[in-house]
Amino acid sequence: MPNNVIVLGTQWGDEGKGKVADLLTSKANIVVRSQGGNNAGHTLVVGDKKVVVRLVPSGILHPECLCLIGSGVVVNPEALFEEIAELNKAGVPNVEQRIKICGASALLLPVHKSIDRGAEKKRGKNAIGTTGRGIGPCYEDKVARRGLRVGDLYEMDRFREKLKDLLEYRNFMLKNFYDEPEVSFDSVMAMIEPLRERLLAMVTDVAAVIDEGRKQGKKILFEGAQGTFLDIDYGTYPYVTSSNTVAGGCVTGSGAGPLAIDYILGIAKVYTTRVGGGPFPTELNDAVGEGIRARGKEFGAVTGRPRRTGWYDAVAMRRAVMINSLSGLALMKMDVLDGMDEVKICIGYKRPDGVVLELPPLAACEYEGLEPVYESMPGWKESTYGVTEYGKLPQNARNFLKRLEDLSGVKVAILSTGPERDQTIYLDDPFADR
């Protein structure tokens, strides 16, 4: 039985993971976040209600769904409880009781935000354009083995010792390298102590819950955050986030074994967006790109920043198919391309010496001088907004989708024609027997 499905972004984030995870959760019992933190912003639209989840898995709107936060996630306790309060206010039942956190998850503390801000300032014109949430510095501390974990809250004497050591190092950097205000030990303790018991009440052995769920035949959805080209290893380094956003990250960051996964659904828009700095070969700095931004409401769900926009990139998608073992694709925002005279797909990156690359390079500096090679197709004037049957799409839209599939090397399983749950065309079911 195909019970365990990963959904993840195949571009630079904001592909529509929230909508797809929410849709598939009508079939899933458990939703798991495995990496990233509250840099994510996943939008869920149900009727006239719009909810943006950041740390909480997108399954939360389904009242029976268990939501797990795995070891690979960086947990900002203040942000978590703020989000829980928002969900409570929106009338979502039993939010706190349905969220379980792995004790090995890294604790993201205010000092990480200060370092993030200082590091971005220091980078000057080469700033990454981070979300400013402290994500990178928190992962740095984790990998350097000086970080604090959620499970450290069990033993407060040891917690205080570790916090002192961490702050000694980080405050030295804030003061002497980043020229930023230091963060006091007392302020961190004053923040964490009132939240400690509530946080510990959520701690569970997430890997064991996943394993038990599998044995009981439960359906489990692994919800990626960010996107493939923001991956720390395979993204446009250094303009990336600090975790493995690819399918492997869903496994290491949750404790599910690699062979536990049955289907991997990649999410992509029918065009491309990116927030923050870094290479973006198909970027459109013209009226066409402006039109896509306006129609697609392409403004960050977390930071409100305008998203950069461009054509669909089949070169990047070929890499995403390869490194994520994609089983199928969920293509989002079809309606945003309605009414255009022509639509384009990038099929290669041309180097200054004329050589055309069919796969994207692995570092930002290698993108310099690359020009996108496009295939152009006629657009469609009819509206696809809210269409729920493939056969009802305009012929030119179907031609575009067919070409996009052929060039990307993966079949479309889900097509989204609007932000709401029912504005969706299902071509394949990731949870179906096959």
CB 226 within 8 A of CB 41: no
Candidate segments 36-44, 64-72, 143-151, 339-347, binder of ligand GDP by CB under 6 A: 36-44
- Tell me how far apart the alpha carbons of residues 56 and 62 are, in angstroms, rounded to a whole number: 13
- 135 touches, from ligand GDP, Mg ion, ligand IMO, none (C-beta below 5 to 8 Å by class): ligand IMO
The tokens describing 117, both together, are 């801000």
- Looking up tokens 């070409």 gives 403
Alpha carbons within 13 angstroms on the beta-carbon side of residue 326 total 27
Which residues are catalytic, by number? 14, 42
- 416 touches, from ligand GDP, Mg ion, ligand IMO, none (C-beta below 5 to 8 Å by class): ligand GDP
Name every residue whose Cβ is closer than 8 Å to that of residue 233 and which is 6 or more positions away in sequence: 244, 246
Of positions 34, 43, 242, 282, contacts ligand GDP by CB under 6 A: 43
For the CA atoms of 95, 135, 121, 144, the dihedral, rounded to the nearest 10 degrees, stands at 150
Of positions 16, 41, 118, 348, contacts ligand IMO by CB under 6 A: 41
The tokens describing 187, both together, are 């302020």
Length of the chain: 434
Q: Is 131 in the site for ligand IMO (CB under 6 A)?
A: yes
Strand 220-223, strand 203-204: pairing = unpaired
Helix (H, G, I), strand (E, B) or coil at 196: helix
Q: Is 15 in the site for ligand GDP (CB under 6 A)?
A: yes
Per CB under 6 A, contacts with ligand IMO among 249-308 are 275-276
Per CB under 6 A, contacts with ligand GDP among 301-320 are 301
Name every residue whose Cβ is closer than 8 Å to that of residue 264 and which is 6 or more positions away in sequence: 5, 6, 8, 247, 324, 325, 326, 327
C-beta of 111 vs 412, nearer to ligand GDP: 412
- Tell me how far apart the alpha carbons of residues 50 and 45 are, in angstroms, rounded to a whole number: 5
CB 264 within 8 A of CB 5: yes
Of positions 42, 133, 318, 319, contacts ligand GDP by CB under 6 A: 42
Candidate segments 76-84, 178-186, 236-244, 327-335, binder of ligand GDP by CB under 6 A: 327-335
- Tell me how far apart the alpha carbons of residues 347 and 403 are, in angstroms, rounded to a whole number: 11
Per CB under 6 A, contacts with ligand IMO among 210-239 are 225-227, 230
C-beta of 99 vs 407, nearer to ligand IMO: 99
- Tell me how far apart the alpha carbons of residues 138 and 133 are, in angstroms, rounded to a whole number: 10
The tokens describing 215, both together, are 């044995």
Of positions 8, 19, 245, 292, contacts ligand GDP by CB under 6 A: 19
Of positions 24, 30, 35, 42, contacts ligand IMO by CB under 6 A: 42
Nearest to residue 375, comparing CAs of 335, 342, 336?
342
194: region left, alpha or beta (phi > 0 left; psi from -120 to 50 alpha): alpha
C-beta of 16 vs 348, nearer to Mg ion: 16
Q: Is 224 in the site for Mg ion (CB under 5 A)?
A: no
Of positions 4, 25, 39, 244, contacts ligand IMO by CB under 6 A: 39
**What is the closest distance, in whole angstroms, from the C-beta atom of residue 67 to ligand GDP in the complex?**
15
**What is the closest distance, in whole angstroms, from the C-beta atom of residue 151 to Mg ion in the complex?**
28
Q: Which residues bind Mg ion (CB under 5 A)?
A: 14, 41, 301
Q: Which residues bind ligand GDP (CB under 6 A)?
A: 9, 13-19, 41-43, 45, 301, 332-333, 335-336, 416-419
Q: Which residues bind ligand IMO (CB under 6 A)?
A: 9, 13-14, 39-42, 128-131, 133, 135-136, 225-227, 230, 241-242, 275-276
